[in-house]
Amino acid sequence: MQRITYRVKVSAQGAKRRISYLLRPAKRSLNTKSNLVPSVKVARFNKSKKMVQVSSIALLSLPARSLTPMDVPIPAYDQVMLDKTLTIAAVPGDSTYFATDGFQHGFGYDLVRSYADELGVSIDLKAYASEEAALNALKSGDADMALTTASTELKNQLALPSVIVSCGYDSSLTKNGLNPKVSWTFNNANDPLAKGASSFLCDNIKINNTQKLAAFYNQKLLKDAYSQQHFQQTLTEKLPDYQTQFQQQAQNYNHDWELLVAMGYQESHLDANAVSPTGVRGIMMLTNSTAKAMGVSDRVDPYQSIGGGARYLEQVKADFADVPESERIWFALAGYNMGPNAVKRIQRKLREQGIDDKSWANVYAYLSDNRASNSRYGQCMHYVSNIRSYLETIKTYSV
Residue 58's region, left for phi above 0, alpha for psi from -120 to 50, else beta, is beta
Per the CB < 8 A criterion, the answer to whether 189 and 161 are in contact is yes
Alpha carbon 183 to its chain's center = 14
As a whole number of angstroms, the distance between CA 87 and CA 121 comes to: 10
> Would you state the pLDDT for residue 365?
94
pLDDT exceeds 50 at position 159: yes
CA distances from 363 to 310, 323, 354 (A): 23, 12, 13
pLDDT in tens, 89-118: 999 999 999 988 777 899 999 999 999 999
CB neighbour list of residue 341: distance below 8 Å, 6 or more residues apart: none
> Would you state the pLDDT for residue 71?
58
The torsion angles phi and psi of 372, rounded to 5 degrees, stand at -65, -30
Mean predicted confidence (pLDDT) in 332-359: 96
Complete DSSP assignment for 272-292: TT-B-TTS-BTTTTB-HHHHH
Q: What is the mean pLDDT of the chain?
A: 85
CB neighbour list of residue 136: distance below 8 Å, 6 or more residues apart: 158
> Would you state the pLDDT for residue 39?
36
Q: Determine which of 29-43, 134-148, 268-282, 345-359 has the lowest per-residue pLDDT on average.
A: 29-43
Per the CB < 8 A criterion, the answer to whether 201 and 210 are in contact is yes
Per the CB < 8 A criterion, the answer to whether 399 and 228 are in contact is yes
List of E strands, the chain? 4-7, 59-62, 85-90, 98-100, 103-105, 122-127, 145-148, 162-164, 183-185
pLDDT exceeds 50 at position 32: no
Mean predicted confidence (pLDDT) in 119-143: 96
pLDDT exceeds 90 at position 251: yes
Complete DSSP assignment for 84-145: TEEEEEE--STTS-EEETTEEE-HHHHHHHHHHHHHT-EEEEEE-SSHHHHHHHHHTTS-SE
If you count them, how many residues does the chain have? 399
State what percent of residues in the chain have pLDDT above 90.
Answer: 75
Mean predicted confidence (pLDDT) in 132-136: 98
Picking from 89, 76, 67, the residue whose alpha carbon sits closest to that of residue 23 is 76
State what percent of residues in the chain have pLDDT above 70.
Answer: 81
> Would you state the pLDDT for residue 396?
83
> Would you state the pLDDT for residue 132?
97
As a whole number of angstroms, the distance between CA 181 and CA 90 comes to: 14
Expressed in angstroms, the distance from the first to the final Cα of the chain is 58
pLDDT exceeds 70 at position 199: yes
Report residue 34's pLDDT band, with 50, 70 and 90 as the boundaries.
very low
pLDDT exceeds 70 at position 166: yes
Higher pLDDT, 46 or 265: 265
pLDDT in tens, 53-90: 433 332 233 333 333 455 567 899 999 999 999 999 99
As a whole number of angstroms, the distance between CA 286 and CA 299 comes to: 7
CA distances from 342 to 302, 324, 354, 375 (A): 28, 19, 19, 13
Residue 62, Cβ neighbours under 10 Å: how many?
14
pLDDT in tens, 205-233: 899 999 999 999 999 999 888 899 999 99
Mean predicted confidence (pLDDT) in 123-131: 95
**For residue 237, which amino acid is it?**
E
Residue 241's region, left for phi above 0, alpha for psi from -120 to 50, else beta, is alpha
